[in-house]
Structure 1
């Protein structure tokens, strides 16, 4: 059974990897993740009957590559970065207001434009905390299929729109689409075993102590400790980074398996409206912070973009923005969102009693 699932997953990943390669030929932003996501989504929507019965992309397989991405981000943490943390107070303060404002705007969009019931609109509109939104939404009586679709479409819309928007903003391809590499030069496959061992150790510890987004933050912190203390110089070859993007993109696209019809079209349209509103709000925050602090606008925008932590870190890496700072902002966003929706959700339920 395990070998059969492994073979099916390898074939699917290879097919979607071809989509990533084609995307790289036409210089799309973050090509290996977005290209594989599109290929996987098309397979899930139009060829779901060709997939093995009951097939689900194995999350443990995805976690291995997320751990590698976490190590890659953690290897960018140095002592001078730690010294910068006090300077982030302004952006974290603005991010606090962003979370409340974005959730409020999203609630209006899903409730009044989408016509969703109150619990579904409330938990569909959270700017983060995907798994927590699903768990609390189910408890509150939300429509779980719609809520799940809406939350995943938020992430997919962000990772599709942000790199493209920045390319249009600068008038030229940016990041990986502009030929930038996320890998350290002259890195061989011999570096992978150590990086993987540190990543898996961080994943185990991060999960045990219940870190937010533990599959990324655990390996990140483990790699940061190793790098800052000088125990090892961690690096990954470019092909390993590309493969990690393909696996992450393929697993995201598989969320669309079996989805068709008006419900999906409506959800996709609402996701675009919601994400556009949040990115517009994030752009205002980034512009204000850029004027006040001089921090790079693109790094600030990515820090406010409400996508998945791993995906936003990959975008930061492809743009040569500091992924550790971006990840710190997103972890804070997720923690704050979970606290905010838990408190407001409990208040709403108490009011209804």
Structure 2
């Protein structure tokens, strides 16, 4: 990285940290991530001339913090959770129908309401698989700027609206603002740091080699699950370190939004709101239908069907007293299904009018 990139990244993380601190004092949902996201997005818009031309938040830097979050989520896996999975097979089947309905309905929204061309509408409409959607959309001739905007708006809107909506419904803050955390060690306890680092490194290697969806998160998650279930080590860190990870993740997402402006952003935001409302409506319908069949609460099932980022939805699950690993399993399955569907249907998009 160049000196300008390093200094800009450091400044954005500090801005994100300040935003997270303010959000924490205001008891907002997921304060450190959402506060950081909002603060850096505003900074990207208001101070755009001071940001180096062509600046992109360093993904390798972000990778470190994603891996730590993955390890801490994987550490929640237990034999009791594994025993619960067979009873959740029906909700996994529901995800299959959800992906098809969400993608089809979103396509109609972007194609006929938004007026996007076929390829751009199709790949903007996916309820997951952000990187795969962008890569395959580019190959199919989609408008990459518009496609990228809609995919990031999907994630940002879901991770913003779901915790806020749940906070209003439950009458109390959710996420970190509700006192839930991935770690339980004291602020100065680093005795298990080496185990976390080794597990994260092993998980990153595994995720990359196996081409896992969202491998930066899921690789460390699976590695940590093995360590946790087998009792090979203790995976715990001071909670302030997890908050720092959320600040960095929020800052990276905020910069994506901060780089968008003008009529294109307003149009994309409007379409994104319609799309996300549509998908959350479908998710709510599935959650209501599956409550008795799975013996899971409505809010836990809704978070399992909400088409946001894997990391963010797992953090929301914490506030609901739901095991984040269980919620994460649903989201990994959603991403896998979306990628499979793209492979089967996407080949026709560039040659046929849908």
- With the shorter chain as reference, the TM-score category is over 0.9
Distance apart, 1:235 and its partner CA: 0.9
Q: Which residue of 1 aligns with 2:303?
A: 302
CA RMSD of aligned residues (A): 1.6
Q: Which runs of 5+ in 2 are unaligned?
A: none
Q: Secondary structure at the match of 1:84?
A: helix
Contact 1:176 1:319 in 2 (8 A): no
Question: Which deviations, in whole Å up to 9, do the C-alpha atoms of 1:157-181 show, x marking residues without a partner?
Answer: 0000000111112122223222333
2:147 matches 1:147: yes
Take 2:341 and 2:61, find their aligned partners in 1: how far apart are those partners? 32
Q: Which runs of 5+ in 1 are unaligned?
A: none
Distance apart, 1:347 and its partner CA: 3.5
Take 1:4 and 1:136, find their aligned partners in 2: how far apart are those partners? 32
Q: Which residue of 2 aligns with 1:314?
A: 315
Q: Which residue of 2 aligns with 1:135?
A: 135
Question: Which deviations, in whole Å up to 9, do the C-alpha atoms of 1:303-342 show, x marking residues without a partner?
Answer: 1010111111122224331111111111110010111122
Take 1:138 and 1:55, find their aligned partners in 2: how far apart are those partners? 21
Contact 1:64 1:200 in 2 (8 A): no
Distance apart, 1:198 and its partner CA: 1.1
2:205 matches 1:201: no
The count of corresponding residues between Structure 1 and Structure 2 is 352
Question: Which deviations, in whole Å up to 9, do the C-alpha atoms of 1:171-205 show, x marking residues without a partner?
Answer: 22223222333322536233333212211221122
Q: Which residue of 2 aligns with 1:73?
A: 73
Q: Which residue of 1 aligns with 2:261?
A: 260
Q: Which residue of 1 aligns with 2:215?
A: 214
Q: Which residue of 2 aligns with 1:121?
A: 121
Q: Which residue of 2 aligns with 1:35?
A: 35
Take 2:264 and 2:8, find their aligned partners in 1: how far apart are those partners? 29
Contact 1:182 1:318 in 2 (8 A): no
Take 2:51 and 2:319, find their aligned partners in 1: how far apart are those partners? 32
Contact 1:175 1:320 in 2 (8 A): no
Contact 2:179 2:319 in 1 (8 A): no
Kindly report which structure 2 residues correspond to 1:49-68, keeping only aligned pairs within 5 A, or say none. Answer: 49-68=49-68
